[in-house]
Amino acid sequence: MAWDFETEPEFQTELDWMDAFVREEVEPLDFVLGSPYDIHNPKNQKIVPKLQGEVRKRGLWACHLGPELGGQGYGQLKLALMNEILGRSHFAPIVFGCQAPDTGNAEILAHFGTPEHKEKYLQPLLNGEIVSCYSMTEPHGGADPKVFTTRAELDGDEWVINGQKWFSSNARYASFLIVMVVTDPDAPPYERMSMFIVPKDTPGVEIIRNVGLITESEGHHAYIRYNNVRIPRNHLLGERGQGFAVAQTRLGGGRIHHAMRTVGQVKKAFDQMCERALSRTTQGEVLANKQMVQEKIADSWIEIEQFRLLVMQTAWRIDKYKDYRKVRKDIAAIKVMLPKVFYDVASRALQLHGSLGVSEEMPFSNQVIDALRLGIVDGPTEVHKVTVARQVLRDYKPAEGLFPSGHLPALREQAIQKYGELLELEVSSF
């Protein structure tokens, strides 16, 4: 039996280097540069490629990829530990070659792309020379792709795409988009969609506007209209009608990475909360001596530890089973916990900082909004709760008969039948 909560010394050395490197070299970029995805911005070019070079020399570039694609091929457990560090900075993922949505798009291209696709799109993506967009959600569709209406129709050797997509991540800076659209409207619900590569400069790709979060000065989630967009027939990724299956290639691992990066953000908020509690005095004593403050700190620490351990266990199970279907419940569970823990801790930190906490001079307002965002992306929390419940209930069966199996009178009767005679003999012997 093996049940270990320690990291191998060799890998811990790499994590220690990452921790110092991100803290000293990468986190400051969040204050002096704009979007990490604006890779051709001259200011970004002055700093980011040099830092990426340091990461490459250390052998920590794009570690989620196999050696054949230039990575280390790390399993989800190691990646989780790395992403806990990377989550502290907006720039850290791109410095380490593992930024979303490019990681998921790279997996799709690696699995389903042709040699031509890999040369033209995948390799520059892996080299950090371009960024990409994942264009799936529609304005009316929410989290239900089964009601999407954007269509692709085959016309000779070309697919023609028409429709609208909403909140397409990083379209502003992307060189190409991976688009999920309806190709077989009369097929069963999960066989109607297909996935395509669409170069952003293709005629008919119209960015109506770039939508930003409340806290963003410059939005990069695009509202896109596809107007008779023509792409080559071979830009289909995977089989026709198998868009859902292709999409699953990118989702499971991505949710683990989101979760551990969130742990990194939550820990930053928690550290600032504890520092504040020990630094400020009111009513004759430091905040740390107030029982309600102690409650906030205790609740936050417990929630963080529970969440982190669940994420690590899920990563371990993915590595063990090599089958995302066997950990579907676990992945859905961490997706449910993620926004709640982030929101709880960030809002407590905000409260303990008072008026400073709600100001733009501290990060907590942004974190609270980001927690709400994380409750929506990759499927809303409610959908994942349904998944957890359904998966859990598969391990149970209904009771036989009128009363439940835990009915005490029935259990008492069974116990008497099993031990009654023996107990009577023992009693009569005294």
**pLDDT of 144 higher than 80:** no
Outline where DSSP puts E strands in 77-125: none
Could you give the 3-state DSSP secondary structure of residue 118? helix
Contact yes or no for 147/192 (Cβ under 8 A) = no
Contact yes or no for 89/145 (Cβ under 8 A) = no
Q: Which of 210, 237, 264 is the last residue of a domain?
A: 237
Average pLDDT over residues 217-228: 88
44-64 per-position pLDDT tens digit? 999 999 999 999 999 999 998
Per-residue confidence band for 332, with pLDDT thresholds at 50, 70 and 90: very high
Q: What is the pLDDT of residue 425?
A: 47
Separation of alpha carbons 365 and 371, rounded Å: 10
Give the CATH number of the domain where residue 38 resides. Answer: 1.10.540.10
Contact yes or no for 159/233 (Cβ under 8 A) = yes
Domains: count for the chain: 3
Give the CATH number of the domain where residue 386 resides. Answer: 1.20.140.10
* Residue at 428 is within a domain: no
**Could you tell me if 258 and 387 lie in one domain?**
yes
**Could you tell me if 177 and 282 lie in one domain?**
no
**pLDDT of 427 higher than 70:** no
Which of these, 240, 118, 108, 233, lies nearest to 181 by C-alpha position?
A: 240
Amino acid letter for position 142: G
Residues in the chain: 430
Separation of alpha carbons 213 and 374, rounded Å: 12
Contact yes or no for 61/70 (Cβ under 8 A) = yes
26-48 per-position pLDDT tens digit? 999 999 999 999 999 999 999 99
103-115 per-position pLDDT tens digit? 889 989 998 999 9
Q: Which of 182, 211, 237 is the last residue of a domain?
A: 237
Average pLDDT over residues 374-403: 93
Which two tokens mark 323? 């089958």
* Residue at 189 is within a domain: yes
- pLDDT greater at residue 287 or residue 2: 287
Q: What is the pLDDT of residue 66?
A: 87
Which of 254-258, 335-339, 394-398, 424-428 has the least mean pLDDT? Answer: 424-428
Mean pLDDT across the chain: 92
Phi, psi dihedrals of residue 360, rounded to the nearest 5°: -75, 0
Q: What is the pLDDT of residue 429?
A: 40
Separation of alpha carbons 342 and 346, rounded Å: 6
* Residue at 90 is within a domain: yes
Instruction: Indicate left, alpha or beta for 179 from its phi (over 0: left) and psi (-120 to 50: alpha).
Output: beta
356-365 per-position pLDDT tens digit? 999 999 999 9
**pLDDT of 97 higher than 60:** yes
* Residue at 139 is within a domain: yes
* Residue at 400 is within a domain: no
**Could you tell me if 251 and 385 lie in one domain?**
yes
**Could you tell me if 14 and 151 lie in one domain?**
no
Per-residue confidence band for 428, with pLDDT thresholds at 50, 70 and 90: very low
**Could you tell me if 252 and 293 lie in one domain?**
yes
Query: In terms of residue numbers, what domain contains 51?
Result: 9-113
Residue given tokens 């990475």 in the structure block: 257
Contacts (Cβ under 8 Å, ≥6 apart) of 328 = 387, 391
Which two tokens mark 106? 């790279």
**Could you tell me if 314 and 343 lie in one domain?**
yes
Residue given tokens 């908020």 in the structure block: 269
Average pLDDT over residues 370-383: 90
**Could you tell me if 221 and 102 lie in one domain?**
no
**Could you tell me if 316 and 379 lie in one domain?**
yes
